[in-house]
Structure 1
Amino acid sequence: MTSNIIFSEQFVPQFQIPPSAQRQTHELKTWPSCFAAVKAGNKPFDVRENDRNFQVGDQLILREFEPEGEQYTGRSITRWVSYVLQGGAFGVQDNWCVLGFSDLPPIPAGITDIRLW
C-alpha cells in the first residue's frame, strides 16, 4: 500500500545555528528540584548569570548538585541552548540570561527538511 502524503508547507526544524557558530560545552550545577523539572520536560528553560557567554547551539551538561551536602549526586542530563534572552530587557537583570532548552542538538546549517534525517 502506498500513500501520497502532501505537506502544505515546508517542514521547519526546531532550531539551527549559523555555519560559523562556535559551539561550546558547559557543565552546570543544577539543584535537585530544577533537575527533576528539566528531566520531566516541565522546565524547558533556565535563568543563569551569563558569565560564560552562552550561545544558541551550546551543549549543556546539567549535573544534579545537592547544595546542603555540597556534592554532586552523580546524575546528569544533556540539553542544547535553543534560545538566549539576554539581560537588560523584560525584567532580566544585566549580566544574566534566560536559556531556552532543547533535548535535541541543533540542525546543521543548510538543512531545511529533517523528515528523513
Structure 2
Amino acid sequence: MLNEVVDVDLPVGESANPVGDHSNARGPLEHKVKSWPQFFEANASGAKTFDLRRSTDRDYRVGDYLRMQEFEPKTARYTGRELLVRITYVTSAEFPCALSDNGLNPEFCILGFHLVPTSGT
C-alpha cells in the first residue's frame, strides 16, 4: 500500500536517502511528476530508466514510486497518459556516485527506476 504524496522538509543535517540504502522506514510514497513528451516516450519504451529531478522539494527514496504524467509544454496541458515507475537507486551530490559530488548540482538528483507493469501492459 502506498502512502499519500507529501512534500517533506527534512531537519537540517538529516539525509533523504543514501545511495545503495534500500531501506524505506516511512513506507513508499507516490510522487506525481510532470514528464515532457520526448522523455515520457523514452521512459515508456524502457530506453530511459533514469530521471534527473529537483531534489529540494521532494524526499525521493529507494522504493518510492513516480507517477509520471505526460505534460505538453507547448499547450501547458496534461495529455492524460501516465506511467508508474519504482525508484531503485538515488544518486545526488550528497550521496555521490563517481564524480557526481562535483558534477551534480546539489539541488538535483538522478533517480534510477523500473517500470511497474499495469493491467493494460
Does 1 or 2 have the higher relative contact order (CA < 8 Å, sep 6+)?
Answer: 1
The alignment's C-alpha RMSD in Å is: 2.2
**What stretches of structure 1 of length at least 5 have no aligned partner?**
1-14, 106-117
Task: Provide the identity percentage.
Answer: 36
2:81 maps to 75
Q: 1:37 is paired with a residue of what secondary structure?
A: helix
Q: Is 1:94 matched with 2:106?
A: yes
Quote the Cα distance in structure 2 between the aligned partners of 1:41 and 1:23.
22
Q: Is 1:54 matched with 2:81?
A: no
Give CA-to-partner distance per residue, 1:16-41, whole Å, 9 cap, x none. Answer: 94363421110000000000000001
Amino acid at match of 1:44: T
Amino acid at match of 1:77: L
> Does structure 1 conserve the Cα–Cα contact (< 8 Å) formed by 2:49 and 2:114?
yes
Amino acid at match of 2:58: R
**What stretches of structure 2 of length at least 5 have no aligned partner?**
1-19
Equivalent position to 1:43, from 38, 48, 68? 48
Q: TM-score, normalised by structure 2?
A: 0.68
Equivalent position to 1:25, from 19, 22, 30? 30
Q: 1:33 is paired with a residue of what secondary structure?
A: helix
Quote the Cα distance in structure 1 between the aligned partners of 2:24 and 2:64.
13
Alignment coverage as a number of residue pairs: 91
Q: 2:88 is paired with a residue of what secondary structure?
A: strand
